[in-house]
């Protein structure tokens, strides 16, 4: 069994507690307009154009994005960072894309990671089969759980996915004793109204005891050049980033409701 991985990020500080090694799995069932890793959406390995220096010139070369790992090879790779994880109460974060899309690989990997004593965080968009979500639960110490919008039709428009499925899985994790950090991408003109904020609060209220924190992720245009490089349509053209004041005001809504809130993860 092999998994297709497009990046392994070491010393990650915003993907769960402590110092973490984050594994980015290829493939995602969503198509978020603001995706920062559009190169990770396609489940297969893909060829991308990469600019490299050659003498004084810059040339474009083809680079394969997405490498196949066996479970054993990946575990060996992750073991290299154990000392940093142990010293910082960190661990491993499975991200993507959507890691649970490669569920057969993940379900071979998770028991081994647990057996070896790693703290495991799953960074999920929640739009997966509930059976798969439930199967991951005995091995996950924490979920970073994205909730991208609170209106069903808007969620569908901006992500291509049903909000009801995401919320069903959120409840499943919370009701089964899972720990959750809720992650909300904040884009004022898309999901930043007071009405939407109130809907977030009413959705979280029944599962509040399972929520360790709410991470507000303000939209920024940092990934815009990827859309040019990968020749992909950027639907966020012309959509403004929030300023600090707007972001703080949005975060304050959740703070006032008693949640621990971070800005930027
Ligand atoms: S869920 Fe995450 S990886 Fe998937 S399209 Fe949305 S932002 Fe990108």
Quote the CA–CA distance of 169 and 172 in Å, as a whole number: 5
The b/e string for 23-36 (b: 16+ C-beta within 10 A; e otherwise) is: bbbbbbbbebbbbb
Task: Give backbone dihedrals phi and psi of 184, rounded to 5 degrees, phi first.
Answer: -120, 115
CATH of the domain at 224: 3.20.20.70
Q: How far apart are CA 251 and CA 216, in angstroms?
A: 7
Determine the pLDDT at residue 51.
77
Which tokens in the block code for residue 168?
């069903």
pLDDT at 63: 79
Residue ranges making up the domain that contains 119: 2-263
Q: Which atom of ligand 1 is nearest to the CA of 97?
A: 3
pLDDT at 220: 93
Calpha distance 133→221 (Å, rounded): 31
pLDDT above 90 for 46: no
Rounded to two decimals, the pTM is 0.94
Report the alpha-carbon distance of residue 232 to residue 224 in Å, rounded.
10
Residue 179, pLDDT score: 98
Q: Categorize the per-residue pLDDT at 62 as very low, low, confident or very high, splitting at 50, 70 and 90.
A: confident
Q: Is the pLDDT of residue 265 over 80?
A: no
Sign, CA torsion 221/225/228/232 = negative
pLDDT tens-digit readout, 99-158: 999 999 999 999 999 999 999 999 999 999 999 999 999 999 999 999 999 999 999 999
Residues with CB under 6 A from ligand 1: 28, 30-32, 35, 37, 40-41, 96-98, 125
Mean per-residue pLDDT, 41-65: 83
Q: Whose CA is nearest to atom 6 of ligand 1?
A: 32
Please give the DSSP secondary-structure letter assigned to residue 205.
G
Instruction: Report whether the peptide linkage leading into residue 192 is cis, meaning its omega lies within 30 degrees of zero.
Output: no
Distance (Å) from CA 131 to ligand 1 centroid = 21
pLDDT of residue 29: 98
Of the residues 159, 227, 235, which should be mutated to test ligand 1's pocket, given the most ligand atoms within 8 Å of the CB?
A: 159
Whether the Cβ atoms of residue 189 and residue 239 lie closer than 8 Å to each other: yes
Q: Count Cα atoms within 13 angstroms, Cβ side, for 145.
A: 31
Q: Which of 13, 7, 91 is nearest to 265 (CA)?
A: 13
Task: Find the mean pLDDT for residues 223-237.
Answer: 89
What pLDDT is stored for residue 229 in this prediction? Answer: 82
Does the pLDDT at position 202 exceed 90? yes
Segment 77-98, tens digit of pLDDT: 999 999 999 999 999 999 999 9
Q: How many domains does the chain have?
A: 1
- In percent, how much of the chain has pLDDT > 90? 86
Cα-to-centroid distance, 32 and ligand 1 (Å): 5
Nearest one of 222, 239, 259 to 188, comparing CA atoms:
239
* Sheet strands (E) in 66-152: 67-70, 91-96, 120-124, 142-146
Instruction: Count, in order, helices (H) and strands (E) of the chain.
Output: 10, 11
**Predicted local confidence at residue 24, as pLDDT:** 97
Give the residue-averaged pLDDT of 227-248. 92
Q: Cβ(105)–Cβ(141) under 8 Å?
A: no
Backbone angles phi, psi at 54, to 5 degrees: -135, 100
Ligand 1 midpoint to CA 220 (Å): 14
| pLDDT for residue 48 is more than 90 | no
């Amino acid at each position: 069994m092999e998994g297709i991985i497009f990046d392994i990020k070491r010393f990650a500080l915003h993907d769960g507690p402590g110092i973490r090694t984050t594994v980015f799995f290829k493939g995602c069932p969503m198509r978020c307009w603001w995706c920062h890793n559009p190169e990770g959406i396609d489940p297969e390995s893909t060829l991308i154009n990469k600019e490299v220096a050659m003498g004084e010139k810059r040339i474009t070369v083809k680079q394969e994005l997405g490498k196949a790992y066996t479970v054993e090879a990946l575990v060996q790779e992750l073991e290299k960072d154990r000392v940093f994880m142990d010293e910082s109460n960190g661990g491993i974060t499975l991200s993507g894309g959507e890691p649970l899309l490669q569920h057969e690989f993940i379900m071979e990997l998770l028991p081994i990671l647990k057996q070896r004593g790693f703290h495991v965080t799953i960074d999920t968009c929640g739009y997966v089969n509930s059976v798969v979500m439930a199967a991951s639960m005995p091995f996950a110490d924490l979920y970073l759980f994205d909730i991208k919008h609170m209106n069903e039709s808007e969620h569908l428009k901006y992500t291509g996915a049903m909000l009801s499925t995401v919320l069903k899985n959120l409840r499943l994790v919370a009701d089964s004793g899972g720990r959750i950090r809720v992650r909300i991408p904040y884009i004022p003109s898309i999901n930043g109204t007071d009405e939407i904020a109130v809907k977030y609060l009413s959705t979280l209220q029944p599962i509040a005891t399972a929520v360790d924190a709410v991470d507000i992720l303000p939209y920024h245009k940092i990934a815009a050049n990827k859309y040019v490089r990968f020749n992909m349509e950027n639907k966020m053209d012309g959509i403004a980033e929030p300023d600090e004041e707007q972001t703080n005001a949005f975060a304050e809504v959740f703070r006032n409701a008693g949640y621990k809130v971070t800005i930027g993860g």
